[in-house]
A = this chain, B = another copy of it.
Amino acid sequence: MHDISDSPIALRRVRGFHLGGARRRVDGFPVETRVRVPGDTPTTVDMNGEHMVGQLYATHYQQAHRAYALPVLLWHGGGLTGACWDETPDGRPGWLEYFLRAGCDVVVSDAFERGRASFPAWPQVLSDAPEHRSLDAVWHHFRFGANGTFPSGASAQDLRRAAYPGSEFPVEAIEQFGRQFVARWAGTQAYALDAYAALLRDVGPCVVIGHSQGAAYALRCAQSHPDLVRAVVAIEPPLARDEPSPGARAPHLFVWGDFIESTNSTWARYRAAAERYRAALAANGCVAELLDLPAQGIPGNSHMLIMDRNSLSIAQRVHAWLAQMAQ
């Protein structure tokens, strides 16, 4: 694979926009007096009224001269935003720059209630409080190290020592990774899928690379929009009892990292469900391939393999697969 790290990025448009959702009357806010501007007189704040609920945010980077017909959509995982495709926590280029330099049109989005997409009020619209992930919780759940071993100190040495041996995640930069975390709500899948469907209709035929929760959404959208989703890369999708419909046609690639047996049963359960899903796709006549990194002789990847030290070599493998499939 040729080195693309120094090629410039020539863009026709950088089109950022919101999409999806609907106008809704929201009531039940107390009318309050607040000081918005320090030193100013207090203002009456009445939030009751018409609000937009359910939209997502996307940036569509359009190449001046694109190398591929289909744009690449990058869908983030839970508790994160489109920023996860940006610079890695240790300051290397991320998958956004990779696919831009490869000559792809790229669409990076924030799902409903994440990042620039905005969250509607709760309890007025969303019923529960959100989840804020701690560094401690992520340490084990994203497979950087064993449960309960997140070091209280922040020295790079402590962090490296506590991580799984051979971990490719830049654990010394875990604080920088933690700056990316956003609150997430449970039970908002229907909103998110509606907004992603609106995005697909806007963008047209495309390939979707989804990470974690974004991969689960990508699989669902490949089912619901077989005319638009022409290939899916599902990186560690958390699945349960999902089943593909017989109508699915797009080629699928499932990507898994390392340390899955080392964590609690969660990731083994998700991977087993994804493997059942992949087998069902194959039985339906779909191309449904597996990139199991450790089995390919590439050990050490965490759940955040899109920002692990070898993230760009994984991007290259995904790119090569897409170039082969999505003609």
Contacts and interface: CB of A to CB of B under 8 A. Distances in A.
A49 B136 contact: yes
Interface stretch (A76-84, A161-169, A297-305): A76-84
A48 B150 CA distance: 13
A181 B116 contact: no
Contact of A182 (B78, B118, B270): B118
A115 B48 CA distance: 22
A186 B59 contact: no
A68 interface: no
B131 A45 contact: yes
Given A116-B115, A182-B118, A242-B39, A176 B18 contact: yes
Contact of A51 (B19, B120, B134, B150): B134
A8 B182 contact: no
A186 B239 contact: no
A290 to B, nearest CB: 20
Contacts of A83: 16-18, 57, 116
A46 B175 contact: no
Contacts of A8: 10-12, 64
A308 interface: no
B181 A16 contact: no
B115 A40 contact: no
Interface in A158-189: 175-176, 178-183, 186-187, 189
A23 B240 contact: no
Stoichiometry (number of copies): 2
Interface in A1-22: 8-19, 21
A69 interface: no
A192 to B, nearest CB: 11
Contact of A47 (B13, B116, B137, B176): B137
Given A9-B14, A52-B175, A238-B40, A119 B183 contact: yes
A236 interface: no
Contacts of A59: 86
Contacts of A16: 83, 85-87, 94, 96
Interface string A39-79: 11001011111111001010101001000000000000010
Interface of A: 8-19, 21, 23, 26, 29, 34-40, 43, 45-52, 55, 57, 59, 61, 64, 78, 81-83, 85-87, 91, 93-94, 96-97, 100, 110, 115-116, 118-121, 130-137, 150, 154, 175-176, 178-183, 186-187, 189, 216, 238-242, 266, 269-270
12 contacts: A9-B11, A14-B61, A14-B86, A15-B87, A18-B179, A36-B238, A39-B242, A49-B137, A50-B135, A50-B178, A82-B116, A120-B132
- 6 closest Cβ pairs, A-B complex: A16-B86, A49-B134, A18-B179, A39-B240, A49-B136, A40-B240
